Amino acid sequence: MKVQKSHLRIALVILVALVIYSVVRNMTPAAPAPGPQTPQAPLIAGPQPGPTASVQIDPLAILPPVDVDLARAPDWGRDPFLFGNETREVIVASFVQVRGVDPNVRSILISSTRRLAIVDGKIVGVGDAVGAYKVAAIEQDGVVFTTANGERRRVAVYGAGRTGLTR
């Protein structure tokens, strides 16, 4: 499609008109609000500050915040996120340490002078503590841990199978 000179002239005239309208619209002063302004009520009751008065608030007069019991669900009349007569089962989170979960051994580095392993995202050596366990030995394909009561537990490298490490 070929643009004609008449189309460009029309577009230029419209652009100039819009610029003039915008300038005139923003340069005229705004009309004052109708009616008298009424002062708003103060948020805190008591003596109001003025040009000569000052407000003194006693810090001991401020009430402490309300105690909140985080161990149970609140006793609200309804859940604002449910419609009609829908109900929701409330599950209270408990922070109980799970026993019997082995540490996650991700990698092992063995050299002539050192033996290191990456366990639960931390680099550990023989004798280091990992949670409730202590590293007793680092072998080529696993780490041996001891618990506080003397129990020994061997954990293989994550992804290790019968044929070696899998990628």
Both tokens of 144, joined, read 């041996």
Instruction: Name all domains of the chain by residue range, CATH numbers in brackets.
Output: 105-165 (2.30.30)
Can you tell me the distance from the alpha carbon of 137 to that of 35, in angstroms, rounded to the nearest whole number? 86
With a threshold of 0.85, does the pTM exceed it? no
Structure confidence by residue, pLDDT tens digits, 64-113: 888 877 777 767 677 777 787 777 776 665 544 445 677 889 999 999 89
Can you tell me the distance from the alpha carbon of 125 to that of 109, in angstroms, rounded to the nearest whole number? 10
Structure confidence by residue, pLDDT tens digits, 19-77: 999 998 888 777 766 666 667 766 666 555 555 556 688 888 888 888 877 777 767 67
Can you tell me the distance from the alpha carbon of 101 to that of 104, in angstroms, rounded to the nearest whole number? 9
